[in-house]
């Protein structure tokens, strides 16, 4: 499943690095890309291994509140 999130709490490029680190922490993330410039996080994940709620909770633990970006 591919999903895009708004991340208004990103305050520097290092935040992208932290958020992209979720791929090392959570199972089932196929691809993850964060952009500080766009304040956005694109995640491609396997729903059988990880849920959207878990991704959002993990990001929140890092200090970032994700809101789903509707297409």
Q: Which residues bind another protein (CB under 8 A)?
A: 11-14, 16-18, 20-21, 24-27, 33-37, 39, 54, 57-58, 61-63
- The answer to whether 56 and 20 have CB atoms below 8 angstroms apart is no
- Nearest distance from C-beta of residue 40 to another protein, angstroms: 11
Q: Give the helix, strand, coil percentages of the chain, each rounded to 5.
A: 30, 30, 40
- Nearest distance from C-beta of residue 43 to another protein, angstroms: 13
- Nearest distance from C-beta of residue 29 to another protein, angstroms: 11
Q: What are phi and psi of 31, to 5 degrees?
A: -150, 140
Token digits of residue 36: 């500080």
Q: Choose between 24 and 70: whose C-beta lies nearer to another protein.
A: 24
């Amino acid at each position: 499943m591919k999903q895009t999130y708004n991340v208004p709490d990103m305050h520097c490029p290092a935040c992208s690095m932290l958020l992209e680190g979720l791929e090392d922490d959570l199972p089932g993330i196929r691809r993850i890309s964060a952009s500080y410039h766009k304040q956005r996080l694109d995640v491609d994940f396997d729903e059988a291994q990880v849920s959207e709620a878990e991704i959002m909770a993990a990001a929140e633990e890092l200090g970032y509140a994700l809101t789903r970006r509707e297409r």
